[in-house]
Amino acid sequence: MLDWWHFGFRGKLTPRRIAEKGVEMALTYFDVVGERLAKARPKMHWTKEVAWFMPYSHAIFMSTLAGCTRERTRLSDFLHTKLAVETVAIPIEPALGDVLLCMGAQFQSKPMDTAPPKDRLLKCRKQRPKLLFKAWQALESGDRAKFTAALADSTANFAKTTADDDRPSTAIALQESILAALAYERGWTDLSFDLPIAARLVTHQSLEMG
């Protein structure tokens, strides 16, 4: 529903309430599948029935928007470095899962070792995961200029290679929107992007949550 708000279709619930409700649902979901995720290993066929990449992407996005940092930690604690992205009809680039694992580690109560996903990212040839990880590193180091440039480049790559404008949910760059929300949380509240990029990023500003 937040993607609909972003594109101007407003409902009765506020974006904050939508985000809070989404966090509640995510906690319920991960509580149910958590035990199976803990046992998941790469390339085990049955793990495709237990999705984590998209549910966690939505969960970390909504928890950051809503300021639910305690819940974000609880959700992040379900992650471990042997998780591989789920098998879906429209394949997800595996390296995006590695970026998300590196991000999620920072919110865990006991941060996992991110060396394995970082090693996999070094071998990745796809541009979007590399640009997304570059933006994440810039955010961590507090380099606003590098962050803005890398996030814009990653979003542009998403628009070129992945976006499907037939539906709002597939027209937005969710993982890039997570980083935009984290940047806002950091205090970079006045970041702005040109329209082709801004149209792909769901932000506090586009949701009028400032």
Could you report the per-residue pLDDT of 47-97, keeping only the tens digit for each?
A: 456 789 999 999 999 999 999 999 999 999 999 998 988 877 677 898 999
Distance CA 68, CA 80 (A): 21
Number of C-beta neighbours around residue 44 at 10 A: 12
* Residue 204, pLDDT above cutoff 50: yes
Report percent pLDDT > 70 for the chain.
Answer: 94
Listed by start position, the domains of the chain span: 2-198
Average pLDDT for 176-189 = 97
What's the pLDDT score for residue 89?
Answer: 66
* Residue 46, pLDDT above cutoff 60: no
State the DSSP code for 172: S
Distance CA 111, CA 105 (A): 5
Could you report the per-residue pLDDT of 106-122, keeping only the tens digit for each?
A: 999 999 999 999 999 99
Could you report the per-residue pLDDT of 84-103, keeping only the tens digit for each?
A: 888 776 778 989 999 999 99
Helices (H), 124-202: 127-141, 144-161, 168-171, 174-186, 195-198
